[in-house]
Amino acid sequence: MVTQQQREQLDQQGFLLLPEFSSVSAVDELQEQIEGLFAQEGEAAGTEFKQELHSRRLSNLINKGEIFRRLACQPSVLELVEIVLGDQYKLSSMNARSANPRQPAGQPLHADMGAITDERGPWVCNVIWLVDEFTRENGCLRVVPGSHQENKLPQDAMADPLIAHPREVRVTGPRGALIVLNAHLWHAGTANQTDKPRTALHGFYCRRDKPQQQYQKKLIDLDLQRSLDPTLRQLLALDDAENDQLARQEVERSGFLK
């Protein structure tokens, strides 16, 4: 159960760290699956969406393993998503990102999908499973607390979103921790200055009246779609005619990847 203090932090600061969310065995299983896919896909990894310089990416993970489908609909995760988005939401995408060793630079501050809150409030939420420990040296997250309430994007308020913001903080945590972001919050991955990669799994959720970052109905194999239970079909919006219409919209799919 999420405490009132945690709810207030997520609402007011825009992020929440849960240090002991996953067991060691669960993280080991997740890491094995992710590294296996990186090895299998090679240079094509991430191409269903976008690739990123100096980082490895995987996309369309709902289609690539039961573990990802299981994590996407964990009740404890969805409880956190509902705090940000309310009870009308869907999975927008599920990806993995691994910051390469000795990166020359990190990401610019951004809001996911270049999203600004509307009259109904927040519409994007990012859940991050820490496959590796996040430290100040290995490419942890930086965030600007409260920036999700400013109703503007960092590129419109800063001369250079790559530089440090005066209010930013670094979010570090142990392997197995979970980070939840109101994804309107200005955030970015920092540069990994160590000799080892730093990997995390990202579950991205959005309100049901908004387009998915990656149109799940198009990406997931039909045979797999037919086998999914009603709960997961609902979460993926596979039988949602409005979602099919929304998928035709031309929208910004990433806050910084072009």
Report helix, strand or coil for 10: helix
Counting Cα atoms < 13 Å in the Cβ hemisphere of 61 gives 30
Task: Find all residues with CB under 8 Å of 52, minimum gap 6, and list them.
Answer: 46, 97, 257
- pTM, entire model: 0.98
**Can you tell me the distance from the alpha carbon of 96 to that of 83, in angstroms, rounded to the nearest whole number?**
23
**Can you tell me the distance from the alpha carbon of 246 to that of 86, in angstroms, rounded to the nearest whole number?**
19
Confidence at residue 151, expressed as pLDDT on a 0 to 100 scale: 93
Give 10-residue mean pLDDT values along the chain (258 residues): 95 97 98 98 97 98 98 98 98 98 98 97 98 98 97 96 98 98 98 98 98 98 98 98 97 93
Residues in the chain, total: 258
- The architecture of the domain spanning 4-102+125-134+172-182+191-246 is Sandwich (2.60)
Confidence at residue 90, expressed as pLDDT on a 0 to 100 scale: 98
Hey, where are the domains in the chain?
4-102+125-134+172-182+191-246
Q: What is the largest CA-CA distance in the chain?
A: 50
Give DSSP secondary structure letters for 181-234. EETTS-EEEPPB-SSS-EEEEEEEEEETTS--SS-HHHHS-HHHHHHS-HHHHH
